[in-house]
């Protein structure tokens, strides 16, 4: 039960990132490069403080971890210039699922038939959620940027399962990724607003820094495929947040898709069938 609650809390934090990022960029005075750099920097400061306060932990950055985190944060920030919170989260975690399931297959992780079926049901729910809005309403450049972010986050989650010090690894990767965010902001300077900076700091410190440290703690106790399917709940949560804070429409389509996604997750967690892979 504790593992389930921690996983749910982490998914809420992930969804909150979409809402916070979109809220900040609704103001034309706040730019995506600035948001991404501040998010990385504030997260790094908070995480380093937690490492300092915790005995036995130290900074443990890796090249792959730093690169994949930077790709995720930067792609995520720029994608939300044109994407709604729900649609962006759908593309992100649909892509994350593909990346993590590919990793599970490559690692020859046993995949029960129920997990494949649950993943398919959940993903169909996401497709149903997006489909009525029409392909023409999704900005292609934004979608491609979010797909790149999905690849980055999928790889980051895969390598996170093997870390022995989740907090140290997250802090180290945030610290090393911050100069990359600042460099991009220097090359592509854009504006800042007080509200945008505050939202970026909340995203960096709370829903990113602390959220990712928690995710790295939970990941080693989850199979790759279970982690991938669990993340499919994030677009539904993000769409709900978008409806409350951004005025995005909450419809019957959303409710039906929610049933499919959550039902698929539950199915994937049931024992059953011969493992494949």
The confidence score (pLDDT) of residue 195 equals 95
CB 215 within 8 A of CB 10: yes
CB 216 within 8 A of CB 106: no
Give this prediction's pTM: 0.84
CB 266 within 8 A of CB 93: no
**Range of 153's domain?**
2-276
The confidence score (pLDDT) of residue 277 equals 47
Q: How big is the chain by its Cα radius of gyration, in Å?
A: 18
Number of domains in the chain: 1
123 vs 117: CA distance, rounded Å? 10
Mean pLDDT split into 10-residue runs, the chain, 277 residues = 81 93 92 97 93 83 94 96 86 79 79 81 78 63 90 87 82 95 96 95 92 80 73 84 86 79 76 52
Taking each helix axis from N to C end, the angle separating 234-245 and 85-106, rounded to the nearest 10 degrees, works out to 170
115 vs 264: CA distance, rounded Å? 9
Taking each helix axis from N to C end, the angle separating 252-269 and 113-130, rounded to the nearest 10 degrees, works out to 170
Q: What DSSP designation does 66 have?
A: H
193 vs 176: CA distance, rounded Å? 25
Return the closest-CA partner of residue 14 out of 26, 6, 24, 25.
6
Q: What are the structure tokens assigned to 84, written together?
A: 């709604």
Burial of 244 (0-12, 13-18, 19+ CB in 10 A): exposed
DSSP 110-143: -EEHHHHHHHHHHHHHHHHHHGGG-GGGS-HHHH
> Residue 276: which H helix or E strand, with range?
strand 275-276
What residue has token string 């993340």?
231
């Amino acid at each position: 039960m504790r593992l389930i609650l921690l996983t749910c809390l982490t998914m809420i934090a992930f969804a909150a990132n979409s809402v916070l990022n979109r809220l900040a960029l609704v103001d034309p005075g706040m730019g995506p490069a600035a948001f991404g750099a501040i998010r990385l920097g504030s997260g790094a400061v908070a995480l380093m403080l937690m490492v300092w306060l915790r005995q036995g932990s130290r900074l443990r950055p890796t090249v792959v971890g730093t690169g994949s985190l930077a790709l995720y944060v930067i792609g995520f920030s720029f994608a939300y210039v044109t994407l709604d919170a729900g649609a962006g989260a759908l593309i992100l975690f649909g892509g994350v699922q593909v990346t993590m399931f590919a990793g599970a297959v490559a690692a020859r992780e046993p995949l029960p038939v129920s997990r494949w079926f649950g993943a398919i049901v959940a993903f169909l729910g996401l497709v149903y959620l997006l489909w009525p809005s029409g392909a023409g309403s999704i900005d292609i450049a934004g979608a491609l940027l979010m797909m790149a972010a999905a690849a980055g986050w999928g790889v980051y989650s895969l390598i996170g399962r093997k870390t022995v010090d989740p907090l140290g690894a997250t802090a180290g990767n945030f610290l090393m990724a911050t100069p990359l965010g600042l460099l991009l902001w220097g090359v592509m300077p854009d504006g800042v607003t007080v509200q945008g900076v505050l939202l970026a700091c909340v995203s960096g410190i709370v829903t990113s820094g602390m959220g990712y440290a928690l995710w790295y703690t939970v990941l080693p106790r989850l199979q790759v495929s279970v982690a991938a399917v669990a993340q499919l709940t994030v677009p539904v949560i993000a769409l709900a947040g978008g409806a409350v804070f951004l005025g995005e429409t909450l419809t019957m389509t959303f409710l039906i898709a929610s049933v499919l996604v959550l039902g698929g997750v539950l199915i994937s967690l049931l024992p059953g069938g011969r493992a494949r892979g």
